[in-house]
Structure 1
Protein backbone atom coordinates (compact mmCIF):
# COMPACT_ATOMS: atom_id res chain seq x y z
CA UNK A 1 0.00 0.00 0.00
CA UNK A 2 2.81 2.44 0.90
CA UNK A 3 4.55 1.86 -2.44
CA UNK A 4 1.33 2.59 -4.30
CA UNK A 5 0.80 5.83 -2.32
CA UNK A 6 4.41 6.88 -2.93
CA UNK A 7 3.91 6.36 -6.66
CA UNK A 8 0.53 8.04 -6.87
CA UNK A 9 0.69 10.73 -4.17
CA UNK A 10 4.40 11.19 -3.45
CA UNK A 11 3.91 10.22 0.21
CA UNK A 12 2.49 7.25 2.09
CA UNK A 13 -0.03 8.04 4.83
CA UNK A 14 1.14 5.94 7.77
CA UNK A 15 -0.74 5.57 11.07
CA UNK A 16 1.06 6.80 14.17
CA UNK A 17 1.07 5.45 17.70
CA UNK A 18 2.02 1.85 17.00
CA UNK A 19 5.54 1.34 15.68
CA UNK A 20 6.35 5.02 15.90
CA UNK A 21 4.91 8.45 16.64
CA UNK A 22 6.08 11.90 15.61
CA UNK A 23 6.84 15.23 17.22
CA UNK A 24 5.87 18.11 14.92
CA UNK A 25 8.27 21.04 15.31
CA UNK A 26 7.84 24.35 13.47
CA UNK A 27 10.75 25.49 11.32
CA UNK A 28 11.19 28.75 13.24
CA UNK A 29 12.01 26.78 16.39
CA UNK A 30 14.47 24.46 14.60
CA UNK A 31 16.08 27.36 12.73
CA UNK A 32 16.50 29.33 15.97
CA UNK A 33 18.44 26.49 17.58
CA UNK A 34 20.36 25.58 14.42
CA UNK A 35 21.32 29.22 13.88
CA UNK A 36 20.55 28.96 10.17
CA UNK A 37 17.75 28.58 7.65
CA UNK A 38 19.95 26.93 4.99
CA UNK A 39 18.35 23.50 4.49
CA UNK A 40 21.60 21.52 4.19
CA UNK A 41 22.97 23.07 7.38
CA UNK A 42 19.68 22.58 9.23
CA UNK A 43 19.63 18.92 8.16
CA UNK A 44 23.22 18.47 9.35
CA UNK A 45 22.39 20.15 12.66
CA UNK A 46 19.36 17.90 13.20
CA UNK A 47 21.36 14.79 12.43
CA UNK A 48 23.87 15.77 15.10
CA UNK A 49 21.34 17.08 17.67
CA UNK A 50 19.14 13.97 17.39
CA UNK A 51 21.98 11.45 17.14
CA UNK A 52 20.99 10.41 13.63
CA UNK A 53 17.32 9.84 14.52
CA UNK A 54 14.98 10.17 11.52
CA UNK A 55 13.35 13.49 10.70
CA UNK A 56 10.95 14.37 7.90
CA UNK A 57 10.74 17.95 6.62
CA UNK A 58 7.47 19.17 5.11
CA UNK A 59 8.18 22.11 2.82
CA UNK A 60 4.74 23.42 1.91
CA UNK A 61 2.14 25.12 4.07
CA UNK A 62 4.71 26.51 6.50
CA UNK A 63 7.82 24.39 6.89
CA UNK A 64 7.63 21.80 9.68
CA UNK A 65 9.88 19.03 10.90
CA UNK A 66 8.64 15.68 12.18
CA UNK A 67 11.01 13.81 14.50
CA UNK A 68 10.07 10.13 14.54
CA UNK A 69 9.96 8.78 18.09
CA UNK A 70 8.78 5.60 19.83
CA UNK A 71 5.04 5.01 19.65
CA UNK A 72 4.58 5.58 23.39
CA UNK A 73 6.06 9.10 23.49
CA UNK A 74 2.81 11.08 23.15
CA UNK A 75 1.42 9.35 26.25
CA UNK A 76 4.57 9.43 28.37
CA UNK A 77 5.40 13.07 27.56
CA UNK A 78 1.86 14.39 28.06
CA UNK A 79 2.78 17.24 30.46
CA UNK A 80 5.66 18.51 28.33
CA UNK A 81 3.53 18.24 25.21
CA UNK A 82 0.88 20.49 26.76
CA UNK A 83 3.48 23.23 27.32
CA UNK A 84 4.95 22.74 23.84
CA UNK A 85 1.63 23.48 22.12
CA UNK A 86 2.10 27.17 23.00
CA UNK A 87 5.00 27.22 20.50
CA UNK A 88 3.20 25.02 17.95
CA UNK A 89 5.02 21.79 18.86
CA UNK A 90 2.79 18.75 19.03
CA UNK A 91 3.24 15.06 19.85
CA UNK A 92 1.28 13.04 17.34
CA UNK A 93 0.27 9.49 18.15
CA UNK A 94 -2.81 7.30 17.91
CA UNK A 95 -5.55 8.57 15.61
CA UNK A 96 -3.03 10.56 13.54
CA UNK A 97 -1.54 9.89 10.13
CA UNK A 98 1.79 11.13 8.83
CA UNK A 99 2.67 11.64 5.18
CA UNK A 100 5.98 9.82 4.85
CA UNK A 101 8.09 10.45 1.72
CA UNK A 102 9.84 7.59 -0.07
CA UNK A 103 13.04 6.56 1.72
CA UNK A 104 15.08 7.68 -1.30
CA UNK A 105 13.87 11.30 -1.10
CA UNK A 106 16.68 12.88 0.89
CA UNK A 107 17.22 16.18 -0.94
CA UNK A 108 15.58 19.53 -0.28
CA UNK A 109 13.76 20.39 -3.53
CA UNK A 110 10.57 22.41 -3.00
CA UNK A 111 10.01 22.65 -6.76
CA UNK A 112 9.72 18.86 -7.06
CA UNK A 113 8.10 17.61 -3.86
CA UNK A 114 6.35 18.61 -0.66
CA UNK A 115 8.50 16.66 1.82
CA UNK A 116 11.82 14.88 2.18
CA UNK A 117 13.94 13.06 4.76
CA UNK A 118 15.86 15.82 6.51
CA UNK A 119 17.61 13.02 8.42
CA UNK A 120 17.08 9.65 6.70
CA UNK A 121 16.18 6.59 8.75
CA UNK A 122 19.44 4.66 9.24
CA UNK A 123 17.69 1.33 9.84
CA UNK A 124 14.13 0.10 10.24
CA UNK A 125 12.91 0.83 13.74
CA UNK A 126 15.74 3.24 14.59
CA UNK A 127 14.02 6.33 16.01
CA UNK A 128 14.88 9.61 17.73
CA UNK A 129 15.51 9.39 21.45
CA UNK A 130 12.65 11.25 23.19
CA UNK A 131 15.09 13.02 25.51
CA UNK A 132 17.06 14.38 22.52
CA UNK A 133 13.86 15.70 20.96
CA UNK A 134 12.81 17.25 24.28
CA UNK A 135 16.19 18.99 24.59
CA UNK A 136 15.90 20.35 21.05
CA UNK A 137 12.40 21.68 21.73
CA UNK A 138 13.44 23.18 25.09
CA UNK A 139 16.38 24.97 23.45
CA UNK A 140 14.11 26.29 20.71
CA UNK A 141 11.55 27.54 23.22
CA UNK A 142 14.36 29.30 25.11
CA UNK A 143 15.66 31.01 21.93
CA UNK A 144 12.19 32.09 20.81
CA UNK A 145 11.32 33.51 24.23
CA UNK A 146 14.64 35.40 24.34
CA UNK A 147 13.93 36.88 20.89
CA UNK A 148 10.45 37.95 22.03
CA UNK A 149 11.85 39.53 25.19
CA UNK A 150 14.51 41.39 23.17
CA UNK A 151 11.83 42.63 20.76
CA UNK A 152 9.70 43.85 23.69
CA UNK A 153 12.72 45.62 25.24
CA UNK A 154 13.38 47.47 21.96
CA UNK A 155 9.87 48.94 21.94
Structure 2
Protein backbone atom coordinates (compact mmCIF):
# COMPACT_ATOMS: atom_id res chain seq x y z
CA UNK A 1 0.00 0.00 0.00
CA UNK A 2 2.77 2.48 0.92
CA UNK A 3 4.44 1.74 -2.42
CA UNK A 4 1.29 2.69 -4.35
CA UNK A 5 0.94 5.89 -2.29
CA UNK A 6 4.61 6.74 -2.84
CA UNK A 7 4.22 6.21 -6.58
CA UNK A 8 1.13 8.43 -6.62
CA UNK A 9 3.12 11.22 -4.92
CA UNK A 10 6.22 10.72 -7.09
CA UNK A 11 4.19 10.93 -10.29
CA UNK A 12 3.52 14.58 -9.45
CA UNK A 13 7.13 15.18 -10.55
CA UNK A 14 7.92 15.31 -14.28
CA UNK A 15 10.99 13.14 -13.50
CA UNK A 16 9.79 10.73 -10.79
CA UNK A 17 13.23 9.11 -10.50
CA UNK A 18 14.72 12.48 -9.52
CA UNK A 19 12.11 12.84 -6.76
CA UNK A 20 12.79 9.26 -5.64
CA UNK A 21 16.51 10.11 -5.41
CA UNK A 22 15.73 13.24 -3.37
CA UNK A 23 13.72 11.10 -0.95
CA UNK A 24 16.59 8.62 -0.69
CA UNK A 25 19.27 11.26 -0.08
CA UNK A 26 17.36 14.06 1.72
CA UNK A 27 14.09 12.45 2.89
CA UNK A 28 12.24 15.33 1.17
CA UNK A 29 11.53 15.83 -2.53
CA UNK A 30 10.49 19.08 -4.19
CA UNK A 31 7.27 18.27 -6.02
CA UNK A 32 5.45 20.64 -8.36
CA UNK A 33 1.94 21.56 -7.32
CA UNK A 34 -1.07 22.08 -9.53
CA UNK A 35 -1.19 18.87 -11.55
CA UNK A 36 -1.71 16.00 -9.10
CA UNK A 37 -2.54 18.09 -6.03
CA UNK A 38 -2.29 21.58 -4.56
CA UNK A 39 -1.57 22.65 -0.97
CA UNK A 40 -3.11 25.15 1.43
CA UNK A 41 -0.57 26.89 3.67
CA UNK A 42 -1.75 27.21 7.29
CA UNK A 43 0.17 29.07 10.01
CA UNK A 44 0.92 26.95 13.06
CA UNK A 45 -0.51 29.46 15.56
CA UNK A 46 -3.85 29.42 13.71
CA UNK A 47 -3.91 25.61 13.52
CA UNK A 48 -2.94 25.20 17.19
CA UNK A 49 -5.60 27.68 18.24
CA UNK A 50 -8.25 25.90 16.14
CA UNK A 51 -7.48 22.45 17.58
CA UNK A 52 -6.88 23.74 21.11
CA UNK A 53 -3.37 22.31 21.45
CA UNK A 54 0.21 22.62 20.29
CA UNK A 55 1.05 19.05 21.32
CA UNK A 56 2.28 17.27 18.18
CA UNK A 57 0.29 14.06 18.79
CA UNK A 58 -2.93 15.87 19.72
CA UNK A 59 -2.64 18.15 16.70
CA UNK A 60 -2.15 15.14 14.42
CA UNK A 61 -5.25 13.39 15.78
CA UNK A 62 -7.43 16.51 15.58
CA UNK A 63 -6.28 17.45 12.09
CA UNK A 64 -6.92 13.91 10.91
CA UNK A 65 -10.44 14.11 12.33
CA UNK A 66 -11.22 17.60 11.07
CA UNK A 67 -9.59 17.62 7.64
CA UNK A 68 -9.64 13.93 6.71
CA UNK A 69 -6.66 14.10 4.36
CA UNK A 70 -2.89 14.36 4.06
CA UNK A 71 -1.02 17.12 5.94
CA UNK A 72 2.66 18.07 6.03
CA UNK A 73 4.38 20.17 8.69
CA UNK A 74 7.48 22.26 8.05
CA UNK A 75 8.93 24.07 11.04
CA UNK A 76 11.63 25.81 9.02
CA UNK A 77 9.18 28.17 7.32
CA UNK A 78 7.54 31.18 8.99
CA UNK A 79 7.87 29.75 12.52
CA UNK A 80 6.06 26.56 11.56
CA UNK A 81 3.65 25.90 8.74
CA UNK A 82 1.14 23.17 7.98
CA UNK A 83 0.32 22.24 4.38
CA UNK A 84 -3.01 20.52 3.70
CA UNK A 85 -3.02 18.70 0.35
CA UNK A 86 -6.13 19.31 -1.76
CA UNK A 87 -7.30 18.55 -5.30
CA UNK A 88 -5.19 20.26 -7.95
CA UNK A 89 -8.13 22.06 -9.55
CA UNK A 90 -9.04 23.60 -6.18
CA UNK A 91 -5.92 25.72 -6.52
CA UNK A 92 -7.37 27.23 -9.69
CA UNK A 93 -10.69 28.16 -8.10
CA UNK A 94 -9.59 28.83 -4.50
CA UNK A 95 -11.83 31.65 -3.27
CA UNK A 96 -10.42 31.93 0.25
CA UNK A 97 -7.16 33.86 -0.20
CA UNK A 98 -8.30 36.13 2.63
CA UNK A 99 -8.26 33.06 4.90
CA UNK A 100 -5.28 31.05 3.61
CA UNK A 101 -3.03 30.84 0.58
CA UNK A 102 -3.49 27.96 -1.81
CA UNK A 103 -0.30 26.94 -3.57
CA UNK A 104 -0.80 25.52 -7.03
CA UNK A 105 0.61 25.79 -10.56
CA UNK A 106 4.15 27.15 -10.63
CA UNK A 107 4.88 26.31 -6.97
CA UNK A 108 6.95 23.49 -5.50
CA UNK A 109 6.43 21.91 -2.09
CA UNK A 110 8.93 19.91 -0.06
CA UNK A 111 7.15 16.57 0.34
CA UNK A 112 8.70 14.17 2.85
CA UNK A 113 9.06 10.46 2.15
CA UNK A 114 6.24 8.45 3.72
CA UNK A 115 8.40 7.12 6.54
CA UNK A 116 9.15 10.64 7.77
CA UNK A 117 6.40 11.14 10.34
CA UNK A 118 8.16 13.12 13.06
CA UNK A 119 10.72 15.93 13.40
CA UNK A 120 13.30 17.10 12.62
CA UNK A 121 12.59 18.87 9.36
CA UNK A 122 9.48 18.47 7.25
CA UNK A 123 7.30 15.50 8.11
CA UNK A 124 3.82 14.06 7.64
CA UNK A 125 1.44 15.10 10.42
CA UNK A 126 -1.25 13.04 8.72
CA UNK A 127 0.30 10.75 6.11
CA UNK A 128 -1.74 9.71 3.08
CA UNK A 129 -3.71 6.53 3.75
CA UNK A 130 -4.37 5.82 0.08
CA UNK A 131 -3.70 7.32 -3.37
CA UNK A 132 -5.46 10.66 -3.65
CA UNK A 133 -5.99 11.09 0.12
CA UNK A 134 -6.69 14.82 0.06
CA UNK A 135 -8.34 17.29 2.45
CA UNK A 136 -11.71 18.90 1.81
CA UNK A 137 -11.34 22.63 1.05
CA UNK A 138 -14.41 23.59 3.12
CA UNK A 139 -13.02 21.76 6.15
CA UNK A 140 -9.73 23.65 5.79
CA UNK A 141 -11.52 26.99 5.60
CA UNK A 142 -13.63 26.13 8.67
CA UNK A 143 -10.52 25.12 10.62
CA UNK A 144 -8.66 28.31 9.74
CA UNK A 145 -11.63 30.56 10.45
CA UNK A 146 -12.02 28.90 13.87
CA UNK A 147 -8.33 29.38 14.62
CA UNK A 148 -8.33 33.01 13.50
CA UNK A 149 -11.44 33.73 15.55
CA UNK A 150 -9.94 32.19 18.69
CA UNK A 151 -6.69 34.10 18.18
CA UNK A 152 -8.53 37.40 17.81
CA UNK A 153 -10.55 36.65 20.97
CA UNK A 154 -7.28 36.08 22.86
CA UNK A 155 -5.95 39.40 21.58
CA UNK A 156 -9.09 41.23 22.72
CA UNK A 157 -8.95 39.56 26.15
CA UNK A 158 -5.26 40.42 26.63
TM-score (structure 2 length as normaliser): 0.84
Which secondary structure does the structure 2 equivalent of 1:109 belong to?
coil
Q: Which 5+ residue runs of structure 1 have no aligned equivalent?
A: none
Tell me, yes or no, if structure 1 residue 109 matches structure 2 residue 119. Answer: yes
Give the unaligned 5+ runs of structure 2: 1-17
4+ aligned runs moved over 6 Å, structure 1? none
Q: 1:105 deviation in Å?
A: 1.3
1:76 maps to 93
CA distance in 2, matches of 1:7, 1:59: 21
Question: What's the secondary structure of 1:94's corresponding residue?
Answer: coil
Matches within 5 A, 1:3-152: 3-51=20-68, 53-61=69-77, 62-78=79-95, 80-81=96-97, 83-84=98-99, 89-106=100-117, 108-110=118-120, 114-151=121-158
Aligned length: 140
Cα distance in 2 between the residues matched to 1:37 and 1:125: 27
Q: TM-score, normalised by structure 1?
A: 0.85
